[in-house]
Structure 1
Amino acid sequence: MTIDNEIYDRLGGTWWDEDNPLNVLHGSFTPGRLAYFREVLERTGRDPAGLRALDIGCGGGFLAEEFARLGCQVVGVDPSRVSIATARRHATSSGLKIEYIVASGECLPLESAFFDLAYCCDVLEHVADVELVIRESARVLKPGGLYLFDTINHTATSQIFAISLLQKWRLTRVIDTDLHNWDMFITPSELGAHLRRHRLSLDEVVGLGPRASLARLLRYYVQQRRGRITFGELSRRMNVGQVDRTDISYMGYATKANVTDTDRGTATDISTATATDTTSAPTSPASS
């Protein structure tokens, strides 16, 4: 099965519109992920104010804006020019300074050992080369930097929920296209092996999923398919966040190993970390 990553260009102009299927990733996914990531920052003794943060696969900027509000200096990258343009417009209208670049996670046009943290959410299950994305993520992180992530587990349960329920069954599927391929889902042990090969130590894995009951979820999906609620409202009713089970989706964090000072890099300002994107105007507020 070939997944439809072109949807992020077709629908990427309206990420923030609650009637856009992509807005499902915002209503409760954004606060659910952010609550856990903030707890990780607090637990590891990191004040987000002033941290250099990289959003890999930023889409329309949902999480980038939240990290910017926490005080981070955020750079967001995404291969979809349409999505990047949307993210730039929304950040400007929200008064947020975020640097956005058209680029893929497999080839980050960014300085090595520059960022204090990088996060990659709803991305790893979409890329052709997970190993390369992890390698690039590790490269741009400072020694001791944090790598935050979430992805979909490769289990029979995830096949039923993410493929059959959300993608195949007519009454409950979120959108009429193939967003996911079960063969591209990643187990925590597989992800851990990728991380270790690039000096990233997997510190924790926790469950990420809907906290509404299965019966309620089925009812909400049917209501959305019949046009009774928006995609944004569907997401809020799903009440996605940290859960006890990891057999559908999971999130977690890893830490980059400390190395010698010669590998640390010398940049002093976030604008020096980004390569100029000469083909994707307008310029983002962080680079003006």
Structure 2
Amino acid sequence: MQKYRCVPSLYGHSAEPMPSIEEIEKHYRESYYQDPTGQYSKAYDRPELDYFDDRANVGLDFSAAHGVTKGNAIDLGCGEGFFLKSAQRRGFNVFGVDHSLVGIERQNRDLIDSDPGHFVAGDIGSRRHFEGVAFDLVYCKNVIEHVIDPDSIMTRIASYLSPRGLAIIEVPNDFSKLHSTIFGDASKEELPIFVPPVHLHYFTTKTLPELGRRNGFSVIDCFGDYPIDHLLMEEAFNYYKDRKLGSSAHSLRRKFFRYACGVDVDARLALFRSIFMAGLGRDICIVVRR
């Protein structure tokens, strides 16, 4: 098994050495949605479906706050299709790309059935799909930390955008100041958040906006999600040390989103912006325009 180091990089931190494209493809062939023992459920209960919708709607609220409420929306790395399901409910014409369509076929088959030409199984970085279609909203969640060259994905995202379109790019918030507080002097290679070859790059609230600007985007907004890692500060809630606590921690995150999506939209946007500004949020997002 390859031994990886965690080293400072342009992105914050990165794995070294980088795996080959063949090694990455082998990993996803063997452990993606096709693996019945993987992390993806075959069925979700109502609270989990509400959570997927709530998370998607936060992103769509930020899109609306910057004037994009309709048009063509594409999810690069669409997974099981829950973001696109929420976007369709809000009036978007939806498209999706992923290495495999097994996830979306399993969970949101109706999206494919209604627009079969709008979904492609293929590589996100190597080519632009849906030639001739401009997109008002490009969503890219938990993708760029997986690829060898995140800058190339930013170039690809730009190629999809209409002149006034915007993109929402989301990554895990790893090796943050909160993580430094929680994990202390432990070497990064020992931490449970260092997981190559799954995650190759580890972004922060500083380096993610820098990625956008370096690739010619204007960063027009930033937001984070529920800072679930704060639970690790107290032994009684430490779900890394006691995996049985994981379901309760996730339940708390679902309830947080359910509450947040019930408050005034301006307060909701301010809340998620403030989480980012404080360096918190298990995931962090930038909203960009060309």
Class of the TM-score when normalised by the shorter of the 2 chains: 0.5 to 0.7
Residue 32 of structure 2 corresponds to which residue in structure 1?
Answer: 8
Summarize the Cα distance change of 1:41–1:118 in structure 2 as closer, same or farther, 3 Å threshold. same
Cα separation, 1, equivalents of 2:154 and 2:95: 17
Counterpart contact for 1:192–1:202, Cα < 8 Å: yes
User: How far off its partner does 1:95 sit?
Assistant: 8.7
Equivalent residue runs for 1:127-146 within 5 Å: 127-146=147-166
Offset of 1:85 from its aligned partner? 2.4
| Structure 1 counterpart of 2:67, from 28, 45, 53 | 45
- How far the C-alpha of 1:115 sits from its partner, in A, is 0.8
Amino acid at match of 2:239: Y
Q: CA RMSD in A?
A: 4.1
Counterpart for residue 246 of structure 1: 279
Counterparts of 1:180 and 1:159, CA distance in 2:
19
Q: Is the 8 A contact 2:73 2:93 kept in 1?
A: yes
- The match for 2:143 is 123
Q: What is aligned with 2:122? A: 103
**Shift of residue 140, structure 1, vs aligned partner:** 1.1
Instruction: Check if 1:17 corresponds to 2:35.
Output: no
What percent of counterpart residues are identical? 19
Q: Which letter maps to 2:169?
A: F
Cα shift at 1:96 = 6.8
> Of residues 201, 207, 221 in structure 2, which corresponds to 1:190?
207
1:133 to partner: Cα distance: 0.7
Provide TM-score, normalisation by structure 2. Answer: 0.63
Select 1:30's aligned residue among 46, 52, 55. 52
Whether contact under 8 Å (2:134, 2:160) holds in the other structure is yes
Counterparts in 2 of 1:121 and 1:202: CA distance versus 1, 3 Å: same
Deviation at 1:59, TM superposition (A): 1.2
Output one character per residue of 1:71-128: Cα deviation in whole Å (capped at 9) or x when no partner.
211111111x2xx123124323579735321122212323266111101111121111
Matches of 1:85 and 1:136, distance apart in 2:
23
- SS of equivalent residue, structure 1 residue 135: helix
Q: CA deviation at 1:33?
A: 3.1
Q: Give deviations 1:4-38, integer Å, cap 9, x for gaps.
A: 7522244378834368xxx9xx6676345323222
Q: Which moved more, 1:67-76 or 1:212-221?
A: 212-221
Instruction: Say yes or no: does 1:221 pair with 2:236.
Output: no
Task: Confirm or deny that 1:235 pairs with 2:250.
Answer: yes
Structure 1: stretches of 5+ with no match in the other structure: 257-288
Q: Paired residues, what number?
A: 235
The residue that corresponds to 2:91 in the other structure is 71
What letter matches 2:120 in structure 1? I
Matches of residues 256-275 of structure 1 in structure 2 within 5 Å?
A: 256=290
Q: Give the letter for the 1:192 counterpart.
A: P
TM-score by length of 1: 0.64
Structure with bigger RCO (C-alpha 8 Å, 6+ apart) = 1
